[in-house]
A and B are shown apart, each in its own frame.
Chain A
Amino acid sequence: MTTIRQKLGNFGTFEVLALTFLLLYPLFPVLDWGLDAVGQSVRLDRQLVNIFIFGLLALALNIQVGYAGLLQLGIAAFFAIGAITTGVMTVEKYPFQFGFWGSLLVAPIAAAAIGLFLGAPTLRLRGDYLAIVTLGFGEVTRIVLINLENITDGPRGLNPVPEPWLPVAVRELLQGSGGPVEGTLKTMYYIALLLLVAAVVVFTVLEKSRLGRAFVALREDELAASCMGLDPARIKLLAFAGGAALAGAAGCLYATNLTTTAEPNTYDFNYSIMVLCCLIIGGIGSIRGAILGAALLLGFDNVVSPLVTRGLQAVIGGGSDNVLASFTNWKWIVFGSALVAMMRLRPEGLWPEARLQSELREAKDIAEQSQEAL
């Protein structure tokens, strides 16, 4: 037992169980069987792919917001750049035709390069100012992508983005008895899952490495950290570029999974805020929290709310025109109330990282002390 523990290194039993479950899920979709039994078909594995991709995006934002403390409100821009680079690099009408694997290399590089270009002059800005710059950058990127019609095909998006190349034997194995659609789904499922696992492993180690220590020191006291020889500009730029690169990789997966780069308007300000909400719900700075947040948010949006809608329609009756019977119309209220409740009851998030929790508590203690003093 101890040897297994040692071999797992930084990871616990929970992580291993969760990974095993997710690896086996497409083969034994137990939850889907249960839902099928009560007459509801959701295809949870299809939703899981989206959750993995969104989880990667949340982890990307977590580097910038959680680790480096940079309030970034334009993560969707880097996601879009990753998706559209993938489109340009793969579709038949352009000569590149790198395929998924090539663009998995190119998309993060493109996103990181643009991240560096944005970050180098703006990272000296603090807090709110950086938030405004990144917010603006997100909107500008979206509009530029729509207007570069010759490159991005504007609102139509580039398509079809081909699925990842796999050896025929592997492809047939994944396909099993299902059709090619099933094969594509399983391919994307496993690629997204493996990338997510890789990201989790890297970030877990990063937090414990000296770079992780530098991030914490910079968040705690930037002046003291720089007087100890740390270079705040360089470390922040690294976080910014790293986050952009990972968001680019997530964009590459997104476009491949969707088989199109989608309309650039998809990657709007709301999208960035949704990713930020994943972090807030799960716990800023926490790897597990970011993924939990992504799962909760997308799970609520794509699984729970359709199920509830169907249930409501069965009970109340009436079609989709019945406002009361369509839960999807209510989701923003639920979502907003959940955020308010979170801020009131558990501001550090559902699955916070220990150190950030204590940073927040310290701030709260100071606030309470000063109130008592008054």
Chain B
Amino acid sequence: MTSAGQAAAPSVAPLLQIEQLTLRFGGLTAVSAVDLQVQPGEIAAVIGPNGAGKTSLFNAITGIYEPTSGTVRLGGQDMVARLTGAQLAQQLLAGLALGVLALLMAAGLDGLWAATIKQQNPQEFSIAQALSDGISYLQAQPRVEARMGRFMAVSFDGQIPLGSAPTREKAQQLRDDVARGLEKGPPYANPQLPQIAAAAATARIVRWLALVVGALLGAAGTHAVWRRQRRTPTSVARLGVARTFQNIRLFHNMTVLENVLVAMDRHLSHSLPWWHASRRGLFLQLSVIIAFLVVLTASTRAMPAADVGVVGSFALLGFLLSSAALLVQVGRRKAFSPADLQLEQLARSKAMELLAFVGLDARAGDLSRNLPYGDQRRLEIARALATEPRLLLLDEPAAGMNPSESVALMQLIRQIKGRGVTVLLIEHHMRVVMGISDRITVLVHGKRIAEGTPEEIRNNPKVIEAYLGTEADAHG
């Protein structure tokens, strides 16, 4: 990809490319304009004295901190989730829901209910009538209400009676006449009419405003929340970046195996389409159960009592049997469907394989907090590998390890590289860093002061100065 002129330059695109990354907390600049490139398949290291901003850099890469400025790219792509159609639809839907909610609050849900559902005899209910009543209520039109056996034309807020009639049609006629009376003048003109008209006009404006402003605010708010969530630890992890922590952060009260299984979750569930085999069976069974309930409800509503007996009994029996079948099937397993259980078993065998890889398979059933320190570090690595990362970030993997343990760790990191995972690590143990790294970046006070092969770094006067110091400022 790159020009052939640069002989020493790597010929493939970098897996991780950090450009001018700055991270500022108030007045403190933890990371300042750092450039870092990690080539696919290599082991890169970041070293530097304590407080040099190494862990902050990791936190910025993994989405825990939002960089103040600069870019982080993985495989040439910005690590920021794109707006998909589904998300856009979700945001618009949230906007619509909030707009309708605001409209209902402005117009009065209670009044709407009284003007629609309560207007009709429940035995002869017509949805079309309720809809037209509802729309005229929301539009603040004068309307017809059933009151005490008669039909009455009333002002939009139901406060001022405009006249009454024995049938709905006549009352509607009356209402229309009164509405027209506004222009016609007497004999229809009610002295309060201009006032009502003005109030109705205001109400209409308020309701439209509520709908529009509510919808806009709702959509904009959801969009803003989504924007803030575009780059979270979750989304970064799902792009293929896994990490371990300087202070071990295992799930202490879970077993060793469960710790690894949690990290496999995204391959077990989230990345699967909703119609995946592990869910299909369950969805089908649930829809059968719901269908029986719907049939039962429909039959008890719509049929004379004698007919309900047959259809209803069948529907009820079907509902009970299908629910019981689902419960028995679920209750005997540790998962919700057979296909789900298969996935789970596959995950378990993969997890055991990973545990064997780090040498912890014999302790799979132990609680992770009962492991010795070195094993906990190895378990964190296994857990990170379980997410099937492209890039693995190791934050001081050798901290607290004795010399023989760190030799084993170096071996393990090389094997991880052998599995095709690119590794970026922070480490203080110089023997480890110099022993396994292909490239080393040196950070001091949040700035990159050197970058190169272990050999170049070892002889770099700036690095020696930073670590050993020329004055009394060194604490490496």
**Which residues of A approach B to under 8 Å, CB–CB?**
7-11, 92-95, 97-99, 101-102, 104-105, 117, 120-121, 147-151, 165-168, 197-198, 201-202, 204-205, 208-211, 213-214, 216-217, 220-221, 223-233, 355, 358-359, 362
Query: Considering the chains assembled together, what is the distance between the CA atoms of A205 and B338 in angstroms?
Result: 13
State the 5 A-B residue pairs at the shortest beta-carbon distance, nearest first.
A102-B297, A95-B125, A9-B332, A229-B266, A229-B237
Is there a chain A Cβ closer than 8 Å to B449's Cβ?
Answer: no
* Cβ-defined contact, A228 with B262, below 8 A: yes
Q: Which residues of A contact B344 (CB under 8 A)?
A: 209-210
The 6 sampled A-B contact pairs (Cβ below 8 Å) are: A9-B333, A10-B332, A104-B293, A167-B309, A210-B347, A227-B237
Known: A101-B296, A209-B340, A228-B263. 17 other contacts (CB 8 A): A95-B117, A102-B301, A105-B293, A165-B312, A201-B331, A205-B335, A209-B334, A209-B335, A220-B254, A225-B262, A227-B233, A228-B265, A228-B386, A230-B265, A231-B234, A233-B229, A355-B253
The reply to whether A201 and B293 form a contact with Cβ atoms under 8 Å apart is: no
Contact of B300 among A149, A165, A209, A211 (CB under 8 A): A165
State whether A213 touches B110 (Cβ < 8 A).
Answer: no
Q: Is the CB of A149 within 8 A of B270?
A: no
Q: Cβ of B243: which chain A residues have Cβ within 8 Å of it?
A: 227
Choice from A93, A98, A150 contacting B122 with Cβ under 8 Å:
A93
Is B252 in contact with chain A by the CB < 8 A criterion?
yes
Measured CB to CB, the closest approach of chain B to A171, in angstroms, equals 11
What is the bound-complex CA distance between A229 and B62, given in angstroms? 11
B256 at the interface (CB under 8 A from A): no
Contact B270 A231 (CB under 8 A): yes
B308 touches A362 (CB 8 A): no
Bound complex: CA of A167 vs CA of B336, how far in Å?
Answer: 32
Can you name the residue of chain B whose Cβ is closest to the Cβ of A228? B263
Within 105-149 of B, Cβ neighbours of A (below 8 Å) are at: 109-111, 113-114, 117-118, 120, 122-123, 125
CA distance A229 to B388 in the complex (A): 11
Report which of B111, B233, B313, B327 forms a contact with A226, defined as CB distance below 8 A: B233
**Does B238 have its Cβ within 8 Å of any Cβ on chain A?**
yes
B83 lies within 8 A of chain A by Cβ: no
Contact between chains at A105 and B290 (CB < 8 Å): yes
Write the nearest CB–CB distance from B58 to chain A, whole angstroms: 10
**If A9-B333, A214-B262 touch, does A223 touch B301 (CB 8 Å cutoff)?**
no
A354 nearest CB neighbor, chain B only = B253
- The secondary structure that dominates the A interface is helix
Contact with B234, one of A99, A105, A208, A230 (Cβ below 8 angstroms): A230
Could you tell me if A205 and B334 are in contact, using CB atoms closer than 8 angstroms?
yes
The distance in angstroms between the C-alpha atoms of A105 and B312, with both chains bound, is: 16
Most chain B CB neighbours (cut-off 10 Å) among A10, A147, A217: A217
| Chain A CB within 8 A of B268 CB | yes
Q: Check if A205 sits within 8 Å of B330, measured CB to CB.
A: yes
Known: A94-B122, A205-B331. A151 touches B266 (CB 8 A): no
Instruction: Compute how far the CA of A198 lies from the CA of B332 in the bound complex, rounded to whole angstroms.
Output: 13
Q: In the complex, which residues 266-289 of chain B have their Cβ closer than 8 Å to any Cβ of chain A?
A: 266, 268-270
- Answer whether A105 and B297 are a contact pair too, CB < 8 Å, given A217-B251, A231-B234, A231-B270: yes
Please report the C-alpha to C-alpha distance between residue A251 and residue B327 in the assembled complex, in whole angstroms: 22
Among candidates A121, A214, A223, residue contacting B265 with C-beta atoms closer than 8 Å: A214
Chain B residues 297-335 with CB under 8 Å of chain A are 297, 300-301, 308-309, 312-313, 316, 319, 323, 327, 330-335
Contacts of A165 in B (CB 8 A): 296, 300, 308, 312, 316
Q: Provide the residues of chain A in CB contact with B383, threshold 8 Å.
A: 228
Cβ-defined contact, A167 with B316, below 8 A: yes
Q: Using Cβ atoms and an 8 Å threshold, which residues of chain B touch A223? A: 64, 233, 249
CA distance A148 to B225 in the complex (A): 32
Chain B: how many interface residues by the 8 Å CB criterion? 73
A229, B253: Cβ atoms closer than 8 Å: no
Contact assessment for B234 and A232 in the assembled complex, using a CB-CB cutoff below 8 Å:
yes
| Chain A CB within 10 A, most for which of B109, B258, B300 | B300
Question: Which residue on chain B has the smallest CB distance to residue A102?
Answer: B297
Q: How far is the CB of A160 from chain B (nearest CB, A)?
A: 14
> What residue in chain A is nearest B225 (Cβ atoms)?
A121
- Name the residue among A94, A150, A208, A359 with the largest chain B CB count within 10 angstroms: A150
Chain B residues lying within 8 Å of A213, measured Cβ to Cβ, are: 254, 258, 261-262, 265
- Cβ–Cβ contact A210 & B265, under 8 A: yes
Q: Which of B224-239 contact A (CB under 8 A)?
A: 225, 229, 232-234, 236-238
Nearest chain B residue, comparing its CB with the CB of A144: B109
Note all chain B residues with C-beta closer than 8 A to A99: 297, 300-301
Does B245 sit within 8 A of A, measured CB to CB? yes
| Contact across chains for B237 and A101 when beta carbons are under 8 A apart | no
Kindly report which residue of chain B lies nearest to residue A226, judged by CB atoms: B233
Query: By the criterion CB–CB under 8 Å, are A228 and B242 in contact?
Result: yes
Contacts of B290 in A (CB 8 A): 105
- Chain B 43-77 near chain A by CB (<8 Å), digits 1 or 0: 00000000000000000001010000000000000
CB distance from B282 to the nearest CB of A (A): 11
The chain A residue sitting closest to B369, CB to CB, is: A362
Confirm or deny: B250 has a beta carbon within 8 angstroms of a beta carbon on chain A.
yes
Q: Is B294 an interface residue (CB 8 A)?
A: yes
In the complex the two chains form, is A198's CB within 8 Å of B327's CB? yes
For A214, the chain B residues whose CB sits under 8 A away are 262, 265
Q: How far is the CA of A205 from the CA of B341 in the complex (A)?
A: 11
Select which of B62, B252, B387 is within 8 A of A220 by beta carbon.
B252
Chain A's closest residue to B260 (CB) is A228
Give Cα distance in the complex from A214 to B347, angstroms: 14
Asked whether, in the complex, the Cβ of A358 is within 8 Å of the Cβ of B367, the reply is yes
State the CA gap A105–B319 with chains docked (Å).
12
Residues in chain A near residue B332, CB distance under 8 A? 7-10
Residue contact A210 to B269, C-beta cutoff 8 Å: yes
Contact present for A150 and B262 (CB under 8 Å): no
How many angstroms from the CA of A121 to the CA of B229 in the assembled complex?
13
A148-B265 contact given A198-B323, A205-B334, A216-B251, CB 8 Å threshold: no
Chain A residue with the shortest CB-CB distance to B238: A229
How far does the alpha carbon of A205 sit from the alpha carbon of B270 in the complex, in Å? Answer: 19
Instruction: Check if A228 sits within 8 Å of B237, measured CB to CB.
Output: yes
Task: Give the distance in Å from the alpha carbon of A71 to the alpha carbon of B123 in the complex.
Answer: 45
Q: What separation, in Å, do the CA atoms of A8 and B332 have in the docked complex? A: 6
- In the bound assembly, the distance between CA atoms of A95 and B261 in angstroms comes to 51
Q: How far is the CA of A211 from the CA of B262 in the complex (A)?
A: 9
Which chain B residues lie closer than 8 Å to A232 at the CB level? 234
Contact status B309-A168, CB under 8 Å:
yes
Decide yes or no: A97 and B122 within 8 Å by CB, A205-B336, A213-B258, A229-B266 being known contacts.
Answer: yes
A117-B29 Cα distance, complex, nearest whole Å: 39
CB pair B62–A227 under 8 Å, yes or no, is yes
Q: Which of B349-393 contact A (CB under 8 A)?
A: 367, 369, 383-384, 386-387
Q: With A and B bound together, what is the CA distance between A7 and B327 in angstroms?
A: 13
Instruction: Return the chain A residue nearest B295 by Cβ.
Output: A101
Known: A101-B316, A167-B312, A213-B261. A150 touches B110 (CB 8 A): yes
